[in-house]
Structure 1
Amino acid sequence: MEHYEQLKAWRKTEMGLVSLDHFQLNEFHDKLMKETVRIALKKVASEWGKPPAHFAFFVMGSAGRMEQSVWSDQDHGIVYHSATDDQDYFLKVGTEISKGLEEVGYAQCEGNVMASKALWCKSRDEWERQIIAWLEENDWESLRYFSTFFDSRVLVGDNELLFRLKELAFTKLEEEPFLYRRLYENVGFIKKGIGIFGQLLPEEKGQDAGTINLKQTIFFPYVNSLRLLALLEKITDASTLERFQRLPDHLSDMKAYQADFLKLLNYRLYYQKNAVSYQKVHLLQVNSLSSRERESLKAMMKKGRKLFKETKELIDQRCSL
């Protein structure tokens, strides 16, 4: 396939076949995005020549963690190995990739976390300075950017470029352990999903009335906990499931939550298989659930909050040593 329109048709044909299996679905997303990048690189090369330096195109967010649902938006960046300023070329690449992904069916990121933007398209040296700056500033926005970056994996290109950036972050955190607490505080708010009488708390007003946002209410406690644990244990993997698997044996109690998270991933796919857009894919209609399904949802929600609490306690313990 040599055109974005062909990839869009392929997506439409294949998505229904893999939409209920978490692993097959995310493997398909990878194939689809890689083909989109291949076409984009070919388009840019035909006008601007071959890439002037080794580079890596990496994905972040749910794509970085391999947790995409049927619908997903774009979160990606570029790092290139260059002693000269080749940013103009790689911004062209990032812009073409963003355009291609949108045509194929991935909504552009509302927060502009895309390789078409200078903040997310830099040389290796510039990326090193950026990561240090984010951690040294350690305000809400800079730590949010850092956390977004850390949930990254290379989709196309040189894996070593991204690996070295994460190693730099580990070194900085080791030197300034108080940053672990700052990173925890940055994601400390969890949207309440269960009331004092044990009832689910859906949105009460607006166009989303009657729904619970699975991403904010249930996913984030697991995802944020495992990101923090990965930073503590110097785990470079971006996938939450892989982070669970790579936790050391002395954190076996936390590793046990992996079964709950995998159940949550499959739960989301089953109930959101008919979602028609990225905006709707995280919303679950509470009235559509049976009593048993509601209890299962609340159990996963409570487990996520418990994991998050245990992660905070571990960070407090480590930072006080």
Structure 2
Amino acid sequence: MGVGTFTKLKNDILNADQLPQLRSLRDQFQLSIQQNEQLHKDSIAELNNLINDIHDALIVKTISLAEIRMVGEGLGPPPASYSYLLLGSAGRSEQTMASDQDSALIYEDHTASEKTKAYFLTFTQYVVSMLMELGYPPCDGKVQSNESMWCQSESEWKEKLEQWFQDADWESVRYLLIVADARCIAGDDLLFNRIRTFFEQGLVRYTNMLERMIENTVQHKVVVGIFGQFITDRYGDHVGSIDVKYGSYIPIVNSVRWLSLNAAISETSTLSRLEKLKERGQFSEEDYEKYRKAFLQMLSLRLLAGYHEEDGMYKGYSKLNPKRLDSDEIKRLKRNLRYGKEVQKLVLKEMARHK
């Protein structure tokens, strides 16, 4: 599947008018990536962009079909403007072939507040259930647009963010870090931008917040020991495997996010954040290149870990046995995991510098 085929697939998605069509296109997308070995030998950054471009197209079209369904069922068009947000790996444009749903919705303040809330909760339930039909699993942690906590008006979102800043406990900080990765996929960009600005102003007003975010940021340890050995699963179904999501990818993602928030960088993708950190002088050209290459290998290994289909939904694996890698890739991985530890140490060093 070359770039031209991806372009045709994306156009087919955007022109589809039925959910079964979209499911067929999603399945075609999965199969094409799985069978095309050349794609995995090309630039992982380009492959990541192509994969996420298709995911975005599927989600945008689903949101559009949900609006049409609301009208068709006599519930009418949206009573107020809204912004549909992607969070997590989708917000960072880093979805694999089997990422689950992480989403939220902001709607404009409206006089008929209860009716408006009921409308958008029904609408988001349709979006979430339709995406499940396309093979996107629901979020285990219920960070999803059809949950009342994540589907609120602009003023309610501001009140909630303010409360999280004030509480500054583990869960509140976790929610703020989730919001830090949000991007608008459909609807009113300006509405989301106002919430994003409010979030960024909160980081300035609550001067202890970045310090409070440290524990959440470095909670996941990189799976390499002091002698350069892999830290693998010792028991269970994945004996001898490493956790390529939580033991390699997430530590870098979290650390780069914190460094970006500390530098008042608004970008959400890890690659964009790394580039901005270099432009701001936070990283030398040499450090930027090595951290970028380390992160790209983590993206590659997440794709290599693969996925399976269960109850019609694509679910990813996070464990990978190093025996599946050749000697050169193992050598690079050990080096890149050390770079992951290095980035985590930068977070602690930067925080100490500001105390």
Which amino acid is the alignment partner of residue 83 of structure 1?
A: H
Listed as ranges, the gaps of 5+ residues in structure 1 are: none
- Of 78, 82, 85, the residue aligned with 1:58 is 85
- What is the aligned partner in structure 1 of residue 167 from structure 2? 137
- What is the aligned partner in structure 1 of residue 219 from structure 2? 189
Which amino acid is the alignment partner of residue 80 of structure 1?
A: Y
Contact 2:137–2:315 (Cα < 8 Å) also in 1: no
In the TM superposition, residue 196 of structure 1 has moved relative to its aligned partner by: 4.0
In the TM superposition, residue 156 of structure 1 has moved relative to its aligned partner by: 0.4
- What is the aligned partner in structure 2 of residue 75 from structure 1? 102
In the TM superposition, residue 18 of structure 1 has moved relative to its aligned partner by: 4.4
Equivalent positions of 1:1-321 (< 5 A) are: 1-18=16-33, 20=40, 21-47=47-73, 48-84=75-111, 85=113, 86-247=116-277, 248-253=279-284, 255-256=288-289, 257-269=291-303, 271-272=304-305, 274-277=306-309, 279-318=315-354, 320=355
The whole-number CA distance in structure 2 between the counterparts of 1:209 and 1:137 is: 40
Question: Could you say what secondary structure the match of 2:237 adopts?
Answer: coil
Identity %: 31
Over the aligned positions, Cα root-mean-square deviation in angstroms equals 1.8
TM-score (norm 1): 0.93
Contact 1:202–1:286 (Cα < 8 Å) also in 2: no
The whole-number CA distance in structure 1 between the counterparts of 2:196 and 2:352 is: 23
How many residue pairs align between the two structures? 317
Which amino acid is the alignment partner of residue 264 of structure 2?
A: K
The whole-number CA distance in structure 2 between the counterparts of 1:161 and 1:268 is: 33
Question: Could you say what secondary structure the match of 1:210 adopts?
Answer: coil
Listed as ranges, the gaps of 5+ residues in structure 2 are: 1-15, 35-39, 41-46
The whole-number CA distance in structure 2 between the counterparts of 1:195 and 1:259 is: 20
Contact 2:145–2:151 (Cα < 8 Å) also in 1: yes
In the TM superposition, residue 192 of structure 1 has moved relative to its aligned partner by: 4.5
The whole-number CA distance in structure 1 between the counterparts of 2:162 and 2:340 is: 30
Contact 1:235–1:243 (Cα < 8 Å) also in 2: yes
The whole-number CA distance in structure 1 between the counterparts of 2:352 and 2:315 is: 36
The whole-number CA distance in structure 2 between the counterparts of 1:9 and 1:95 is: 22
In the TM superposition, residue 172 of structure 1 has moved relative to its aligned partner by: 1.8
In the TM superposition, residue 236 of structure 1 has moved relative to its aligned partner by: 2.1
In the TM superposition, residue 32 of structure 1 has moved relative to its aligned partner by: 1.1
The whole-number CA distance in structure 1 between the counterparts of 2:251 and 2:140 is: 22
Which amino acid is the alignment partner of residue 44 of structure 1?
A: M
In the TM superposition, residue 246 of structure 1 has moved relative to its aligned partner by: 2.2
